[in-house]
């Protein structure tokens, strides 16, 4: 009987500990929800989750990831197109088209860079406009080649996909 208060205290402490341990409700990560709003979920998921911040990303971090990845991809495309142009000696229709694509990709990189600058200043208006510029520039590049696909076709397809991800992320920032 002398141990009864001790046993009672033990059960109260154990109950308090067990009761304080709460299992968080099952939630879907924001990044996954955004990818569900894109045209190609798997592409989006691969791009976004290549960044270790993705699983816990809030909307601003997710925007940095998406626009940063789009900017990096576009910058690589600019480097590739520039190298492609420099490796050619003959000025033919393809060369003329690729020179125009180089300008379009430069503008797309600038748009993604502007978006990231807006994040730094906590200004989020116009993200949707900047996101879709990339898609428009990719389509403009492809249109420079009337016969068949361009040497930039795969890059154009990827830029459209990256722009789609950025557009889906930009929907997290409605106009105020």
3-state secondary structure of 54: helix
DSSP 118: H
* pLDDT reported for residue 27: 47
Task: Place 7 in a pLDDT band, splitting at 50, 70 and 90.
Answer: very low
Task: Place 91 in a pLDDT band, splitting at 50, 70 and 90.
Answer: confident
Scanning the structure block, which residue is given the tokens 């009761």?
Answer: 19
Q: What is the pLDDT of residues 33-87, one digit of tens each?
A: 999 999 999 999 999 999 999 999 999 999 999 999 999 999 999 999 999 999 9
Q: Please tell me the distance from the alpha carbon of residue 168 to that of residue 59, in angstroms, as a whole number.
A: 11
Nearest to 31 by CA among 52, 55, 50, 51: 55
Decide which of 175 and 50 is more confident. 50
Mean pLDDT of all residues belonging to the chain: 85
Range from 24-33, 125-134, 146-155 carrying the lowest mean pLDDT: 24-33
Q: Please tell me the distance from the alpha carbon of residue 166 to that of residue 137, in angstroms, as a whole number.
A: 14
* pLDDT reported for residue 153: 93
Average pLDDT over residues 127-147: 92
Q: Please tell me the distance from the alpha carbon of residue 161 to that of residue 143, in angstroms, as a whole number.
A: 17
Q: Please tell me the distance from the alpha carbon of residue 37 to that of residue 31, in angstroms, as a whole number.
A: 10
Task: Place 135 in a pLDDT band, splitting at 50, 70 and 90.
Answer: very high
Helix, strand, coil percentages, rounded to 5, for the chain:
70, 0, 30
Average pLDDT over residues 83-111: 94
Check whether 9 has a pLDDT greater than 50.
no
* pLDDT reported for residue 53: 95
Check whether 17 has a pLDDT greater than 70.
no
Domains and CATH numbers, the chain: 26-170 (1.20.140.40)
CB proximity list for 58: less than 8 A, separation 6 or greater = 30
State the virtual CA torsion across 132, 137, 143, 149 in degrees, nearest 10: -90
Say if CB 155 and CB 79 are below 8 A apart. no
């Amino acid at each position: 009987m002398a141990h009864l208060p001790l046993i009672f205290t033990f059960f109260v402490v154990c109950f308090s500990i067990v009761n304080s341990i709460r299992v968080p409700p099952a939630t879907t990560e924001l990044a996954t929800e955004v990818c569900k709003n894109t045209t190609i979920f798997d592409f989006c998921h691969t791009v976004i989750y290549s960044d270790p911040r993705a699983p816990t990303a809030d909307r601003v971090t997710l925007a940095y990831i998406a626009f940063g990845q789009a900017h990096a991809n576009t910058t690589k495309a600019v480097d590739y197109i520039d190298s492609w142009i420099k490796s050619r000696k003959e000025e033919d229709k393809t060369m003329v088209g690729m020179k125009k694509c180089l300008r379009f990709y430069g503008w797309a990189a600038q748009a993604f860079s502007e978006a990231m600058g807006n994040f730094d200043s906590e200004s989020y208006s116009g993200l949707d406009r900047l996101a879709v510029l990339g898609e428009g520039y990719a389509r403009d590049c492809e249109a420079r080649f009337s016969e068949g696909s361009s040497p930039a076709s795969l890059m154009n397809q990827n830029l459209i996909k990256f722009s789609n991800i950025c557009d889906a992320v930009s929907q997290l920032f409605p106009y105020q």
